Amino acid sequence: MHDAAKIVGGLVLFAAVMTSPFWYNALTAAPAAVPALDPPPNGSKECVEPRAYMRANHMDLLNEWRDLVVRTGQRDYVSTTNGRAFDMSLSRTCLDCHSNKAEFCDRCHTFLAVNPPCWDCHVEPKEAP
């Protein structure tokens, strides 16, 4: 290989530059403040599944609901936790409790810099006056 030193050196430099934000954060930044999410304004205490599961997997659950409702026409979801039946609907079920989208969905999504396209089509609940 011609110019082996230049090529390898260049690759090392490239890797160093590309990963520099991680190094910088690891060495200097304080642990990020995890945003606190507001509970449902209607006082509901129980989600369709346990909180830990929802926190980690709500996006998968929503995708699954979406496919079941739209593609198979099934609308009832039976909770594996408490056996209650729910309407698999983002606007009618999820947002019925979590009507505080800004303090719940958005706060965490903004923190994580994710931008789910749900609200391109689904209508945001009106904030309570």
Partner 1 sequence: MDASRRGFLTIAGLSLVGAAGGSTLIAAIGEPGTAVESLPAEPPGGGRRLAMVIDLRKFGHDGELVERCIRACHRAHNVPDFGADRKNEIKWIWAEDFESTFRDEEFRYLRRDLQGKPTLLLCNHCDNPPCTRVCPTKATWRRPADGIVMMDWHRCIGCRYCIVACPYGSRSFNWTDPRPHLESPQADFPTRTRGVVEKCTFCEELLARGGQPACVEACADDEIVFGDLNDPGSKVRRLLAEHLAIRRQPGLGTRPEVYYIVEDPRTLAETAPAAVVPGAAENDHV
Binding residues for partner 1 (CB under 8 A): 49, 53, 57, 60-61, 64, 66, 68, 70-78, 80, 89, 91-92, 117, 120-123, 125-126
End-to-end CA distance of the chain: 70
Closest contact distance (angstroms) between CB of 78 and partner 1 is 5
Instruction: Please say which residue, 38 or 64, places its beta carbon nearer to partner 1.
Output: 64
Closest contact distance (angstroms) between CB of 64 and partner 1 is 5
Please name which of 25, 26, 38 lies closest in space to residue 105, comparing C-alpha atoms.
Answer: 38
CA distances from 123 to 14, 43, 52, 66 (A): 44, 22, 26, 15
Closest contact distance (angstroms) between CB of 124 and partner 1 is 8
Instruction: Please say which residue, 53 or 108, places its beta carbon nearer to partner 1.
Output: 53
Per the document, the length of the chain is: 129
